[in-house]
């Protein structure tokens, strides 16, 4: 197949808010549809057919089995626009961006929209299998005596709801518990995590004050700014917080240095050069390349360390060094995870053993990392984070007018997604 350049044209996202607050009555589909429609209005795409739309959610209901298509039909796009639903945990919308960029690059379409949504305020609460089995049997029979027999067999346990739990099925540990193991292995101090978290909030506040997010975050439900951002936080306040995942003296992860449970949606518009010229779409940056990877966390490897591999392989293919970037967008699932990743890239032993390199990748310039705030401060609606980062990084590159940016996202299931964007 032939290939050609692919460009990030624009993005739009809702303000991100703490779960079970402002968006408590908003469904997953409504939230994603709002972000899509905001992007449509921003680019005057009303009534147009988009080549393809890829969306996803991590915490999703079986009722939303056709989520992406239903969201498209809820916008003012031409209903002939196709759509598909995907899930790669926290890397979902970076994965849809990657897939749709490949479609455009290979002449399969001229335009595309990638995005993601998550809201813990619209939890898909399930019932026990025993309850479902009896209800199905009740529905199948027309015999009154049999119906009475089935109803009389119901027990209190049958009515116990099952809530989604963000734990790894293979280990029964949460992401935070896994990260606690990682920071202990890499000897990451509590203070270092708190310092990175404070900087995340400070950078986010500064970006909003400077107007950076004005055309990226649209007003929704009376909000114009992320509700998780803290202007008044300090290192002292962060230091006073109790640990969350390990209550012993060795625990270091807190609510302050971890990304909060968040509701929100984000979408990105991708175009070919042909469509850009035909319709005069704006161009922010070029989507250069991407890579996915995974680790064997079940047998002891760090659950959130896969991005170290994804980035390394991406750099090899592009013949770049880790220092060849003007911006680094490293997803802050936890401040500790970011610090583990940076430590691994600087470790000669790790780079030789795990990344199969002759020497370490070396340090990055921290002043170029998450300069508009990270997930700890802005929030992390799982499937929306990739699109949030792509949109922000593309704008940063457009404002700078030159250079390239690196994206690194860790995900549940021991996976990682990395990508490179470049100024045009």
User: Is 90 annotated as catalytic?
Assistant: yes
Q: What distance lies between CA 239 and its chain's CA centroid?
A: 27
User: Is 380 annotated as catalytic?
Assistant: yes
The pairing of strands 262-271 and 17-18 is antiparallel
The Cα–Cα gap between 272 and 292 comes to 23
User: Is 71 annotated as catalytic?
Assistant: no
Q: Find the catalytic residue in 71, 90, 109, 351.
A: 90
Give Cβ neighbours of residue 344 (< 8 Å, ≥ 6 apart): 186, 305, 308, 350, 351, 354
The Cα–Cα gap between 150 and 17 comes to 44
Which region holds residue 45: left if phi is over 0, alpha if psi is between -120 and 50, else beta? Answer: alpha
Q: Report helix, strand or coil for 293.
A: strand
End-to-end Cα, the chain, rounded Å = 24
Q: Find the catalytic residue in 71, 109, 179, 410.
A: 410
The Cα–Cα gap between 405 and 399 comes to 13
Q: Which of 84, 80, 81, 102 is nearest to 92 (CA)?
A: 84
Q: Report helix, strand or coil for 215.
A: coil
Q: Find the catalytic residue in 178, 201, 331, 380.
A: 380
Burial 141-164 (b: 16+ CB within 10 A, else e): eeeeeeeeebeeeeeeebeeeeee
Catalytic machinery residues: 90, 380, 410
């Amino acid at each position: 197949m032939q290939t050609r350049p692919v460009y990030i044209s624009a993005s739009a996202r809702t303000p991100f808010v703490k779960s079970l607050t402002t968006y408590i009555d908003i469904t997953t589909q409504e939230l994603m549809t709002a972000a899509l429609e905001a992007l449509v209005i921003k680019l005057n795409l009303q009534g147009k057919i988009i080549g393809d739309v890829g969306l996803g959610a991590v915490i999703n209901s079986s009722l939303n089995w056709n989520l992406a298509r239903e969201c498209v039909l809820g916008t003012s796009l031409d209903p002939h626009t196709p759509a598909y639903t995907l899930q790669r945990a926290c890397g979902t919308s970076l994965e849809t961006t990657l897939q749709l960029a490949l479609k455009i690059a290979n002449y399969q379409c001229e335009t595309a929209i990638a995005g993601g949504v998550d809201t813990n305020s619209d939890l898909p609460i399930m019932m026990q299998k025993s309850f479902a089995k009896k209800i199905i049997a009740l529905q199948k029979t027309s015999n009154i005596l049999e119906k009475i027999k089935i109803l009389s067999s119901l027990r209190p346990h049958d009515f116990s709801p099952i809530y989604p739990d963000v734990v790894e099925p293979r280990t029964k540990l949460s992401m935070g518990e896994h990260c606690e193991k990682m920071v202990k292995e890499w000897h990451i101090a509590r203070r270092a995590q708190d310092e990175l978290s404070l900087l995340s909030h400070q950078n986010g506040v500064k970006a909003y004050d400077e107007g950076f997010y004005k055309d990226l975050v649209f007003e929704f439900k009376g909000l114009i700014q992320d509700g998780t951002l803290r202007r008044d936080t300090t290192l002292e306040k962060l230091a006073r917080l109790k640990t969350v995942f390990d209550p012993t003296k060795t625990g270091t992860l807190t609510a302050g240095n971890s990304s909060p449970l968040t509701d929100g949606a984000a979408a990105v518009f991708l175009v070919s050069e042909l469509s850009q010229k035909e319709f005069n779409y704006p161009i922010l940056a070029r989507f250069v390349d991407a890579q996915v990877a995974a680790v064997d966390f079940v047998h002891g490897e760090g659950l959130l360390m896969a991005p170290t591999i994804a980035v390394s392989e991406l750099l090899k293919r592009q013949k770049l060094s880790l220092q060849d970037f003007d911006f680094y967008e490293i997803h802050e699932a936890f401040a500790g995870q970011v610090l583990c990743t940076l430590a691994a890239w600087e470790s000669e032993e790790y780079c030789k053993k795990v990344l199969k390199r002759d020497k370490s990748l070396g340090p990055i310039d921290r002043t170029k990392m998450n300069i508009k705030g990270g997930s700890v401060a802005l929030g992390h609606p799982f499937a929306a984070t990739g699109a949030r980062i792509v949109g922000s990084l593309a704008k940063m590159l457009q404002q700078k007018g030159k250079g390239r940016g690196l994206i690194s996202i860790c995900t549940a299931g021991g996976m990682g997604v990395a990508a490179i964007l470049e100024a045009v």
